[in-house]
A and B are shown apart, each in its own frame.
Chain A
Amino acid sequence: MTKTYSIEGIDCANCAKRLEDTLNKIPQTQARLSFATERLKITAPDEHFDAVMKEVRRVTKILEPDAVMAELR
């Protein structure tokens, strides 16, 4: 399953890259973060998706405390 989130409040391209790299270390997860469009795309197996998202939010909170994430339709 792939879901797209808007993620605002990351203010440097390097920080975005760093966050993306860290998120990609979560097992069975593929993360794509676009600094320019402020979109985060997470792909993970359906059955683990909620757990993965919990981890994604936790990691994001640590690395980018100012970032605001919201799911997009």
Chain B
Amino acid sequence: MKKKSRIISIALCAALFVPAVLFDKIGGLFAVYLPLYALAWFAAARTVIVKAARNIRRGVIFDENFLMLVASVGAFVINLVFSDFKTELCAPGGGEAMMDGVLVMLLYQIGELFQSMAVGKSRKGIKQLLSMRPDSAMVERNGGEEEVFPDEVEIGEIIVVRPGERIAIDGVIESGSGYIDASAITGESEPRAATVGCEVQSGSISTDGLLKVRTTKEFGESTASKMLRLVEEASDKKAAQETFITKFAKVYTPLVCLAALIVAIVPPLAVMLSGGGNVWGQWIYTALSLLVVSCPCALVISVPLTFFGGIGGAAKLGALVKGADAFSPFRRATVIAFDKTGTITEGKFSVVECTLGELDTRLAAAAESMFNHPIAKSVAAYRETDGLECENAEDIAGMGIIATVCGKRVVIGKKELLECENVEYVEYSTPYTTLYVGIDGQFAGVIVVADTIKQTSRTAIEECRRLGIKTVMLTGDREEVAAAVAKSVGIDEYFAELLPEEKVAIVKNLQAAGERVVFCGDGINDAPTLATADIGCAMGGLGSDAAIEASDVVIMKDDLRSVIAAKRHAGRVVSIAMQNIIGSLLIKLAIMILAIVIADFPLWIAIIGDVGVCLVAIFNAMRALSVKKYAPPAAKQTE
């Protein structure tokens, strides 16, 4: 129903209700207050009557509209049938049950109004998240700019992004530079500098620069579209709590109605048969209170809303939860297993130690700059090499490189290479990759390169320990490297030199030992392990489809702290859902018991309780959208 017509109903009902109560309580003028009550009732009830009639035609009887009608009409009937006309109905306050009947409708309508406002508000919060998909893109065509639907832009075309605009399609910056705000995608609030050649993701905003971006993907395959699809589809998979509620609601309402029927008939019949007199009115009135709380609305709305809000909240943290069914196992996880390369570490080499003199280091860097190998790149990037001339660069496969830099013969590689070159060297002991450097036949020193550990990994693993979660590292790398990394980040246990299927086996062993395992991998060859773990976290965005397919949660940012934040958030979402389930059921039960135990328990208190618990549950559900306290602070990516 439209909000406006509901407000009119409520106002009209209230306007008739107030004089009715006055005539009733003060004058006891039956002939005046009866029509006023009836009209007030009708003002609020007319839309409910329409809806109830529609549902009954379709065979739905236990419908909240119908139940509210029965409860309110019932109050009128009791009042008229069981009250003596002269001594009760015409005395002040004689229409008390009728007043209750009108109040039931009035409060029900007010409750529905608040409820639809609350639902509208939380929908808005969720839709805000989904609004990051742009409706149009500016594309350069035929020497001009054209505004088109983003799905009409082909791969390789140039799109123009003005300051403050959202990038529509993934691509590489062709010209321009500026700060990119990718918070909608990664949850990272700090804008990142980007310039020509940098990859940019759709959904992020160019904060200050005019960018021309050459698209590398179609719109539908771009980050923002993929992300939205995941978030939208996530609510299709129901959490266990949600399934429970749906099933429960189906039996709850008929059961409470049956209880109401029993309460209305059995006790007064028993009293009557035992000669105790006529107490029908009192017990039927009690039964009406039961009808009022028989609607499972608080549960049916708030529980799915909690999980939907939870998915939205996780997205704010840069974690895409693929289904509401992931929250519970995520919350209960006892072990987090990490892949090493690219997950705990950066996945790229850099120089960690260098015993060479400054000039020698520059010579080595210049020699390595001739090669494309990741290790060579890391050395080349270590020092400025401008103006150093390099020639005769030669790659000795599996051993190292030889090159002539500024007329000096530079040999870099394994110690065996130096032996071949007859250079005497001093052995250097480190678990990491060691490059021995010889210059003009003399040993110059060593350069140690390693895959650097992300600064954030250490914090994340510390946090795991604080939360009492066991950490395990699984890697295909050598034992010594694994040991060094494990020690450096403080991981509890590690397994090295593993094949992908051995990673799966270790996860299975942990599960067999009763652990619930989260596995975080960067998703290139980790798909089987991601699928085996109770919760698979694909790290680092929407890179590989296989990883997305196999995982339960996609972490958009290469930051392990996001995993911990998402886990804590999952815990909160599940507890909000449980609070709503247990809280609403307890309050409903309490109202039922009070109504039965306390004679003349006012009907309007029952409905206030019922509407109130529904609203509280909805507001509680909306808390699942806010994640501020879990968001990790921005940090430097490397140490």
The interface bits of chain B over 224-267 (1 if a CB of A lies within 8 angstroms of the residue's CB, else 0) are: 00000000100110000000001001000000000000000000
Distance in Å from the Cβ of B202 to the closest Cβ of chain A?
16
Chain B contact residues: over half helix, strand or loop, or mixed? helix
Residues of B with C-beta under 8 A to A18:
60
Distance in Å from the Cβ of A14 to the closest Cβ of chain B?
5
Q: CA of A50 to CA of B113 in the docked complex: distance in angstroms?
A: 36
Residues of A with C-beta under 8 A to B2:
66
* Cβ of A1 under 8 Å from chain B: no
A14 near B249: Cβ-Cβ < 8 Å: yes
The interface bits of chain B over 293-325 (1 if a CB of A lies within 8 angstroms of the residue's CB, else 0) are: 000110011001100100000000000000000
Q: Give A73's nearest chain B residue, CB to CB.
A: B149
Contact status of A37 and B297, CB under 8 A, knowing A11-B1, A11-B116, A32-B236: no
Q: CA of A66 to CA of B47 in the docked complex: distance in angstroms?
A: 12
Q: CA of A63 to CA of B232 in the docked complex: distance in angstroms?
A: 24
Q: Give B305's nearest chain A residue, CB to CB.
A: A36
A13 near B1: Cβ-Cβ < 8 Å: no
Distance in Å from the Cβ of A25 to the closest Cβ of chain B?
12
Residues of A with C-beta under 8 A to B130:
37
Q: CA of A12 to CA of B618 in the docked complex: distance in angstroms?
A: 12
* Cβ of A34 under 8 Å from chain B: yes
* Cβ of A55 under 8 Å from chain B: no
Q: CA of A12 to CA of B51 in the docked complex: distance in angstroms?
A: 13
Place the interface of chain A in its size category: 10 to 19
* Cβ of A57 under 8 Å from chain B: no
Place the interface of chain B in its size category: 20 to 34
The interface bits of chain A over 38-73 (1 if a CB of B lies within 8 angstroms of the residue's CB, else 0) are: 110000000000000000000000110010000001
A37 near B232: Cβ-Cβ < 8 Å: yes
Q: CA of A37 to CA of B232 in the docked complex: distance in angstroms?
A: 8
Residues of A with C-beta under 8 A to B116:
11
* Cβ of B119 under 8 Å from chain A: yes
A34 near B300: Cβ-Cβ < 8 Å: no
Residues of A with C-beta under 8 A to B112:
11
For the complex of A and B, the 5 pairs showing the least CB-CB separation, nearest first, are A36-B308, A13-B301, A11-B116, A13-B300, A14-B300
- A-contacting residues of B (Cβ < 8 Å)? 1-2, 54, 58, 60, 64, 112, 115-116, 119, 122-123, 126-127, 130, 149, 151, 232, 235-236, 246, 249, 296-297, 300-301, 304-305, 308
- B-contacting residues of A (Cβ < 8 Å)? 11-14, 17-18, 32, 34-39, 62-63, 66, 73
